[in-house]
Amino acid sequence: MHRIKTGDFHVSFGITMETVYMDESGYTGYDLLNLDQPVQAASSLMIDEKTAQGLIVDTFPKSRAKELKHKKISKSHRGRCLLSTLILTLA
């Protein structure tokens, strides 16, 4: 419960904050006519931290990376299989 004092009044309210993870791909800046950027995509996922960490550990148990990068993971057959597993788990 948080309290805010406004003048002579006290306002109390409960706050629930949710984390939304967002990422983009293919962004080359404001040059929207850039032929090297035929597509720009953004996505988001609303998931709690504990579940997200569990998915990462379960799907990529050998990874020690601070941030997983699709470009790097998708280069190998095994990486593509792991990504498919993650996507199916989230579906």
> Are 15 and 46 contacting, i.e. CB atoms less than 8 angstroms apart?
no
The answer as to whether 10 is a domain residue is no
The answer as to whether 60 is a domain residue is yes
pTM of the model: 0.61
Alpha-carbon Rg for the chain, nearest whole angstrom, is 20
Give the Cα separation of 45 and 50 in Å (integer): 14
Domain total in the chain: 1
Provide the pLDDT for residue 10. Answer: 54
Structural domain harbouring 68: 19-90
Give pLDDT tens digits for 1-33.
455 555 555 555 666 777 777 788 777 777 777
Give pLDDT tens digits for 36-85.
777 778 888 888 889 989 999 999 998 888 888 888 999 999 999 999 99
**DSSP assigned state of 79:** H
> Are 40 and 26 contacting, i.e. CB atoms less than 8 angstroms apart?
yes
Provide the pLDDT for residue 88. Answer: 93
The answer as to whether 6 is a domain residue is no
The answer as to whether 9 is a domain residue is no
Which structure tokens are listed for 46? 């609303």
The DSSP bridge partners found for residue 4 are 11
The answer as to whether 13 is a domain residue is no
